[in-house]
Amino acid sequence: MPVDLQALYPKLVHLMLDTVFVVDGDNQILFVSDACETLLGYRADELTGTLITNYMHPDDLALTQASIMRVMSGQPHVDFRNRYLRKDGGIVHILWSARWSEEDGVRIGVARDVTALMEAEAELRFLAHHDPLTKLTNRSLFYDRLNSSLNAAHRHQSGLALLFIDINDFKGINDVYGHSTGDNLLCAVARRLEGCVRETDTVARMGGDEFTVLLTDIHSMEAVTRKIDQIITIMAEPLGAEFGGISMPSCSIGVACYPADGEDADTLLNHADSAMYRVKRRR
């Protein structure tokens, strides 16, 4: 017997994993498929008759209004992303495909939850420029920031300092207590170094147990010396109980200042690295 497709359409719509919205020209929701409860946490009957703009993230409202105007002018928008507020207060990232039905006077949209995708993309962008263990700036981004800071220092006739830091006897900790403890120690060092600098400064892990600190807008060597003393003092503080009584190792710090020790990134890095090894050998 022939299948009544017209009767099947509502069932098919409610079976979709994506959410179907039908909204009139005044932004009032006329219909929403069952999948919306998973998407936004609201049942269909809670949303019907309300304004769809009530659920948009306020920071995305202007951009979304522009997309709505585009769709209502007859230009379908099939790759629009924005954020909505869930019933439980959470935020969901949505990918939309929407078009205007002139004969019905309604906007038809299909919404897909891409929150996990957006979070994965953000994580990949973060990892491209940060050390995965300590979450500090990595070598590549640090080099970019150093070059940018050098250009700014040249324009404004200001100074900057580059600290190259090595954790003394770190290999011994790895060998005796294991790499897991070593990793936890590196993270502790990273947090302590971050606590010693301003928002305009940069702390990076260059690899292994080597870290760098970029101090911008420096006007005297005394300021650099005070910062080094602060780092040494903070690094000497005892580790938490989770380290089981392990002592925090000391560190060797080499310093290079712009413009006295070099005017380009490579020269400054080499100078600070060499200075650090001289300090380590004196131990």
Cite the active site residues. 209
Tell me the two tokens of residue 135. 């979450």
Ordered DSSP codes for 133-179: TT--B-HHHHHHHHHHHHHHHHHHT-EEEEEEEEETTHHHHHHHH-H
Nearest Cα neighbor of 137 from 196, 208, 190 is 190
Block residue for tokens 């039908």:
22
What whole-number distance in Å separates Cα of residue 207 and Cα of residue 171? 13
Neighbours of 246 (CB within 10 A): 16
What whole-number distance in Å separates Cα of residue 97 and Cα of residue 99? 7
Name residue 139's beta-bridge partners.
Answer: none
Range 257-280 burial, b when 16+ CB lie within 10 A, else e = bbeebbeebeebbebbbebbeebe
Give the contacts of 237 (CB within 8 A, at least 6 positions apart). 192, 248
Nearest Cα neighbor of 158 from 220, 200, 226 is 220
Handedness of CA 123, 127, 130, 136 (dihedral sign): positive
